[in-house]
Structure 1
Amino acid sequence: MTNSSKEHVLNTPPADAISSVAFSPSSSLLAIGSWDQYLHVYERSSGDSPFTLKQKIEFEAPILDVQINDSTAFCVGVDCTVRKIDLETGEQTVLSRHDEASNKVAYSTEHGLLLSTSWDGTLHVHQPESNDFIRVRLAAKPFAVSLTRERAVVAMAERKVSIYDLTALKRLVEQTGGTADHQSVLDMQPWQERESSLKFMTRAVACMPDGTGFATSSIEGRVGVEWFDPEAQQNTYAFKCHRQMQKTVDESGEEQDVDIVYPVNALAFHPVYGTFATGGGDGVVALWDAQTKRRVRQYHPLNSSVAAMSFSPDGKSLAIGISPGFEDGKESDDIDASQVKVVVRELADGEAKPKEKK
């Protein structure tokens, strides 16, 4: 690692809004999902840019989320399908179909399970090697999902959060799984059910590397930090972030300060130090210490909304996907492709390390 961090903007970014970024387990590949209907796969290089475009794989509809191994990628999107892509041949296999758009996907290396969620209110649990899967009914419309080695956290509408035991899910797939798309939806009791500590709609969820808890973020500039252990749940807290004070003039002509609140679109925990990054509609990325409740550092604002983030598994890089987030209310406007970028920050030694307690 270097003594000072470096920020790189990757060449040949997607042409439409970025939905997801994901590193491979070896940290050698970086996958980008986007609304331009292409999966962009970048490969780590030794040139001026840390990653160069390796391949573009076209899909039938916009991609909403992606996960990647060193030879396989998994994608979900607006066409309702859950797909496995062989990165060597480009061959695509449909693992299952949801009734509505599939918005999130997560892969458990430890259990060999692929989880996908959909706006149809279901969770699909796949064994990609056998193509078997099951449908599980969720408590509400899902917005985000994240995994530990043993748990799956699903954040949903109505402030609902369900936490599933991955071993139990794997057992259920092995006992009742199949390949038919018309199979029934199963009712399964989660390992834990709880109400989110945040009052407004969840945008992202990320689990702690040590598997003891998770963080969620909302559209209302807040982050909540929670623990799985019932005794540790008393330590749950939430804090405000990604807000800017701006001066405006009211109808009487008097100047006043207004607190502009931005959604926190992205969360990512550092795999080594356990600090976590937040990315907001204000284009700002900040690092936080979940244990001490302190901000570690804040980076300069980027020129567009932070849409997605991912730390590399080796902890050396932070990939940031930025694109217009419509915080200014211009949803009907076409995307300005010049504002769609993939930024990779090569972290300096100890850059993501918590500050020492005084």
Structure 2
Amino acid sequence: MQGINAMKLVNLALENEAISTVPANMSSLFRSATPSSNMAANDLSRDATLSMPPDDSISSLSWSPAANFLAVGSWDSRVRIYDVRTIQTGTGVAAIDFEGPVLACDWSKDGTKVAGAGADRSAKLLDLNANGAPAQTVSSHDAPIRSIRFFNMPNANAPMLATGSWDKSVRYWDLRQQTPAATLVCHDRVYAMDVKEQLLVIGTAEKHIHIVDLNAPTTIFETRDSPLKEQTRVVSCFIDASGFAVGSIEGRCGFQYIAQKDQSRNFAFRCHRTLPDKDKTVQVFTVNAISFHPVHGTFSSAGSDGTFHFWDKDAHNRLKGYPSVGAPISATAFNMDGTMFAYAVSYDWHKGYAFNSPQHVNKIMLHPIAPNDCKPRAAVTAAGRRR
């Protein structure tokens, strides 16, 4: 690896330490939550492989909110930007280089800028309207940056960046300045982060979940314990900013609402686990990614078992499940209108750095979304009745 020593590799690998087996003692809250025979019917034969993939593990995927451009962050120390508007296999159009593995990337809300961040403790910004000007370093931390998100401050015209780091802080950056506009001190290392409208959710080590109202960005509105038992891997905000989902290394997802009146709707369920074997144990896999459909508000989960599934959180139904792709799925993202689903197939570090090797596959797949694939089941049924 470029620009990162062995100790940092150990630390990065420990972030994804996984559980191998647990007793199978309770049924799932979700119907069809465990693998079933109908998954084979949901084949992946129409999925396209993005050309010119990264050379190492893929850490993050982010679609432009304005057009079908996809940003890809990788452990090969680069953010790549692909144009997928006309050619399904994509065309590489730009890149941002770093001095260490990239752990996160994101697009500005207007689709003109891409930011990435990672183990070299810096965040860099590429302005696609800057006539080929190189990427600029816009932030720095005292430890690797694990998460990065664009957001717009209320009544502000300029976009801002939030960067979450293992130095136990989130820093806010006005892109017109070289120093942070503000800093939020967290309870522990930042492992995951997401923004929707004025809601910022931060998942840290020791299973803390910080909820922040970006109208008051330097104040933690509320800190909750994760609803899951083990280490947080991902957090993702609902599309209406009323709550968030959290995924962990124990093969479970949890859903939390912000408003006190909605607390009775909070729940968690098991996924990305095998069926019980003869000893009544199941294999448990890390939930690496949770992505919400931008139109329907349903969601996907994907994990180190190499599968992804579409779910309806309100009806507690699995909409579709797909067979394993043969390697971990490390990142996912829906495009701007929810007609395409990108998923990265690569080593996700769930077995630690010692198990990484050049033989691991690294590829980005583009899965077309049929009209009813991610639509809530009730809406599909109602449409059928009207016909």
TM-score range, shorter chain: 0.7 to 0.9
Aligned position for 1:124 = 171
From the two aligned structures, give the one with the greater strand fraction. 1
Aligned position for 1:16 = 56
| RMSD of aligned Cα (Å) | 2.0
Distance 1:333 1:222, change over 3 A: closer
Distance in 2, matches of 1:330 and 1:102, equals: 19
Please report the TM-score for the alignment, with normalisation by the length of structure 1: 0.86
Cα deviation for residue 37 of structure 1 reads 1.0
1:67 aligns with 2:106: yes
Amino acid at match of 1:81: S
Q: In the alignment, which of 213, 226, 239 is matched to residue 269 of structure 2?
A: 239
Deviation sequence 1:26-81 (CA, Å, 0-9, x none):
1321000000012111002423x252222333222111100124332111111101
1:147 aligns with 2:207: no
Q: Map 1:25-174 to 2 at 5 A.
A: 25-47=65-87, 49-69=88-108, 70-87=111-128, 88-109=131-152, 111=154, 112-133=159-180, 134-169=182-217
SS of 1:233's equivalent in the other structure is: helix
Cα deviation for residue 131 of structure 1 reads 4.3
Deviation sequence 1:241-290 (CA, Å, 0-9, x none):
0001375xxxxxxx645310001011100010000100010010011111
Cα deviation for residue 352 of structure 1 reads 0.7
Aligned position for 2:20 = none
8 Å CA contact retained: 2:343, 2:364:
yes
Amino acid at match of 2:192: A
Q: In the alignment, which of 334, 358, 361 is matched to residue 336 of structure 1?
A: 358
Q: In the alignment, which of 347, 362, 374 is matched to residue 324 of structure 1?
A: 347
Aligned position for 1:262 = 285
SS of 1:332's equivalent in the other structure is: helix
Amino acid at match of 1:267: I
Distance 1:275 1:105, change over 3 A: same
Distance 1:313 1:131, change over 3 A: farther
Higher deviation after alignment, 193-202 or 265-274: 193-202
Amino acid at match of 2:209: V
Aligned sequence identity (%): 29
Gaps of 5+ in 1: 170-187, 248-254
Distance in 2, matches of 1:203 and 1:27, equals: 28
Amino acid at match of 2:49: V
Distance in 2, matches of 1:337 and 1:18, equals: 14
Count of residue pairs brought into register by the alignment: 328
Distance in 2, matches of 1:84 and 1:56, equals: 11
Gaps of 5+ in 2: 1-43, 382-387
Higher deviation after alignment, 83-92 or 217-226: 83-92
Aligned position for 1:175 = none
1:302 aligns with 2:340: no
Amino acid at match of 2:216: A
8 Å CA contact retained: 1:153, 1:161:
yes
Please report the TM-score for the alignment, with normalisation by the length of structure 2: 0.80
8 Å CA contact retained: 1:223, 1:241:
yes
Distance in 1, matches of 2:243 and 2:330, equals: 23
8 Å CA contact retained: 2:68, 2:336:
no
